[in-house]
Chains A and B, each alone.
Chain A
Amino acid sequence: MSAPLIQGYEVVIGFETHAQLATRSKIFSRAPVAFGAAPNTQACAVDLALPGTLPVMNREAVACAIRFGLAVGAQIAERSVFARKNYFYPDLPKGYQISQYEIPVVQGGSVGFDLAGQPRTVRLVRAHLEEDAGKSLHEDFHGMSGIDLNRAGTPLLEIVTEPDLRSSAEAVAYAKALHQIVTWIGICDGNMQEGSFRCDANVSVRLPGQPLGTRREIKNLNSFKFMQQAMDYEIRWQIEQLQDGHAIQQATVLFDPDSGQTRAMRSKEDAADYRYFPDPDLPPLCIAPQWIAQIRAELPELPRPMAARFVAQYGLPEYDAATLTQNPAMAAYFERTAAVSGQPKLASNWIMGELARRLNEAQQGVDAAALGPLQLAALLVRIADGTLSHNAAKQVFEALWSVPAAAQTPLPDALPDALPGALAQVDALIAAKGLQGMSDTGALQAIAEQVLAANAKNVAEYRAGKDKAFNALVGQVMKASQGKADPARVNALLKQLLGA
């Protein structure tokens, strides 16, 4: 599939993402990694590069890298090397960053996603481990900057794509898919405001058939919205430059959300010569096949294959499957509900509808839902068997939601005992509120006949072809049943009685 040209130019984008790994301690020291601590209270001697300090590698950071590599179908290097990237900056205590250069821990791989309904694949070049730098605070200290090294040494996984992206929209779709993967497998908390997931976009344009144009790198894109804006601006800017006859100079640029523009940074150091060499303080990282096999065995089902399975296994539409697989907790909630209730489509509707609405309002994840999968399943069973109308079900849902969790009878979690308990709870609520619908067909029919008898005019109008009259009859039956009847059944029943 070819992407649209912009004023005749083809857009070429490569992405670099720095994902902070969700470990407890730093990559090379035992200081804690937690956002928001007071300045320099989480920077130990090693992080501060005090004389005589040395790095010691965090096993969990390596495990995260392996997990990622397996999730994207990459090669895990049996032997990879840490290298020093040398440059001076106040937030870089050693005057070098420990990273990986020639031989990274993860090689190759790809990320799949959908763009405007079409499947796309972006190839990864590599992913490697490295340490994060500290932070500069530019609030006025009388013309000075304040350096906080709490973040220095936080483990990062740098993920690099081939220049396979052909539009800003595609790049954002890729970024979102990558974000989903790293959070799904639990290696990154994905909190972009806190800097857990930072993207750099390498953007260039060219006339079709021409070699790659000179690229400029937009650094530190920390929101999906700004990502697209920034790339769009940069693309237009580059095209304008070329059309005006100017060559593009390689540069690093920053996006200014206020102006909506990208502008070149002051260079930190001249034509950066990082003088990479293997770090003599760290022997090569050797990863045994057994360790990879163990991590592979523990890897959860990934979102895209899971969504495909939801479509195949539960007959759900693709939209539902994609929505339900936005995070593992949501997917698990759905599957449990579907399994217990036997009503996957209903489950999907209620989770994407009522449940999602309430969670979004409260800004909570599905694990904080006041209603568990068992209870929802029980509700769905009662809808499916006709006991509850849709409206009645909403009332039951509201009732279940507002009962504090502590007050609810704890339900055993394992099938097959689970359902009866949940049903009992739901049935109790139904009875207490007098919500049982007209599953009693006799009663409903009686009401329907009464309504027809009392509304002869509407009946006649309906028979004469006025559909509105029919709706009025339905309304009357609903009213007479105090909303307990199921509208669809009332519909069917009236039609039957009217001989239509």
Chain B
Amino acid sequence: MNAAATASTLTSTAELHQMGVAGLGAALGARQTSATEVAQHLLARAQAHSGLGAYLALNEEATLAQAAAADARLAAGERGALLGVPLAHKDVLVTRDFPTTAGSKMLQGYRSPFDATVVARLATQGAVTLGKLNCDEFAMGSGNDQSAFGPAHNPWDLARVPGGSSGGSAVAVAARLSPAATGTDTGGSIRQPASFCGITGIKPSYGRCSRYGLVAYASSLDQAGPMARSALDCALLLTAMAGPDLERDSTSLEHPPEDYSRWLGQPWPGASAAQPLQGLRIGLPREFFGHGCDPDVLAAVHAALAECERLGATLLDIDLPRTELAIPAYYIIAPAEASSNLSRYDGVRYGHRAAEYTDLLEMYKRSRSEAFGPEVQRRILLGTYVLSHGYYDAYYLKAQQIRRLIAQDFQSAFGHCDLIAGPVAPSVAWAIGAKTQDPLSAYLADTYTLPASLAGLPGLSLPAGFGAGHMPVGLQLIGNYLSEARLLQVAHQLQLVSDWHTRTPPPFTHCPKSHP
């Protein structure tokens, strides 16, 4: 299938922000607009909507320089799906042209001397960086309410969280500040904000995208992935982002680069165009559809699944018996790895150093305590505890054993189905401030995303309708290892027969009157 959609004629620049990656790529290729024009338009929107808290850093000079370079390539006749297409990066991916804070005072003002591999790969394809996006501090959080630089706001209801930790990324795409954004997902941090903001996002199989340049939170769980307006857009981005990084990341998978859009628009193997999902068996874990999930969320999810059936898919019940154990397992493994990964932030070589201290010990303590937020400190303490002498077997080792059991549960399930589907989160987005007093309930809300994270499986979230308060609800699709292209294929089929993914929050549909 020709992944780059044919360009429709642009009637005015005012519509530029309504175009997704595929559309913009085609328009740029057809010379209907320029990378510079698009970038300027979106930079202006970023300024106009700064109250959303999406962006942490902008650098007009750098952005326009990248755009000019892309325009030169286009003028020379070069074409590419992402050439000149703007996007923004979650602030846990290091960039040379923009500061990287990871949402923390610890790295305020930090400039990396190198680009993250996924950033560099997108840049090689000619993507233009608009800026760095807000996130929960060191990717620890699920509401973008743990950022040291203020919360991000859900464009569908500014009083609600956009989700996290890739909150800024979801906001930017949902509010049409950028056609695409990179996010990272450790326990659900791409899927859940995608669900809360009504956009599409995919966490690939562990090891698909290089972690070099990704500020580490939990090394055995972190994965970068695209967030955009559609499965098609995500496929185009993932194709550029993913692939082996054998030189720099020892956990990078050796599987050769893939075109993740190769099955978009095609029927499932053996199916017809009329019933494109015929033969697809979708497993529904009983544990995901129980009383822990809000009825409005379940309703939207069931409606989307009904759509799958209408397209020919078969739904069947499956079991993922250890689902609930994913929470303690994750909240032992991730903080343990994080407590170690964050030890490098000691004020010696970079990052925040306290202004006053009398000796080395005090320098360490002050620098770290002044610059790490409360949730980060909590997780460091928890991680330190579970790795402590005498507790390692009972906690960390045990959690890794549970992790294998969870992975085995999925393998058993995939013996009966091709994909697993269910809600992303048990509720729609909550009000900003509602969960900060009780992080435990935020942990419990990760129930549906944690299992795939622990197993290292690819997981996708696509908009499936609206729930309480007219807030978006996402449908989660989980595939077996290396099946991203299939997940995107199924999501794309749904997006061909529905329009949830095209909905824009009304305040962000058009440009403000004062905007040129």
Contact = CB atoms under 8 A, between A and B. Distances in A.
In the complex they form, whether A and B have CB atoms below 8 Å apart is answered with yes
Interface of A: 45, 48-57, 84, 86, 88, 90, 93-96, 147, 149, 273-277, 280-283
Contact of B248 (A56, A57, A86): A56
Contacts of A276: 387, 392
The 10 A-B pairs of least Cβ separation, nearest first, read: A95-B343, A275-B387, A280-B219, A280-B220, A52-B213, A49-B344, A51-B215, A52-B94, A273-B389, A94-B344
A55 B344 CA distance: 14
A156 B215 CA distance: 27
B333 to A, nearest CB: 9
Interface string B193-228: 000000000000000000111111011100000000
22 contacts: A45-B113, A49-B344, A50-B113, A50-B114, A50-B349, A51-B110, A51-B344, A52-B114, A52-B116, A54-B249, A86-B340, A86-B343, A86-B387, A88-B364, A90-B346, A90-B348, A93-B349, A94-B343, A147-B348, A275-B384, A275-B388, A283-B250
A49 B345 CA distance: 9
A54 B336 contact: no
B340 A54 contact: no
Contacts, number: 98
Contacts of A84: 340
Contacts of B236: none
Contacts of B387: 86, 275-277
Contact of A273 (B112, B249, B348, B388): B388
B214 A88 contact: no
A52 B214 contact: yes
A51 B248 contact: no
A50 to B, nearest CB: 7
B357 to A, nearest CB: 11
Contacts of A94: 343-344
Contacts of B220: 280
B456 to A, nearest CB: 12
A51 B384 contact: no
A185 B218 CA distance: 40
B336 A281 contact: no
A49 B349 contact: yes
B112 A50 contact: yes
A275 B107 contact: no
Given A45-B113, A51-B112, A52-B116, A275 B340 contact: yes
Contacts of B112: 50-52
A48 B114 CA distance: 13
B207 to A, nearest CB: 10
A50 B350 contact: yes
B396 interface: yes
Given A88-B364, A94-B343, A281-B251, A54 B211 contact: yes
A90 B250 contact: no
Interface in B100-146: 100, 102, 107, 110, 112-114, 116
B247 interface: yes
A276 B94 CA distance: 28
Given A273-B389, A280-B220, A282-B250, 11 more contacts: A45-B113, A45-B114, A52-B214, A54-B251, A57-B250, A86-B387, A88-B343, A90-B348, A95-B346, A96-B340, A275-B384
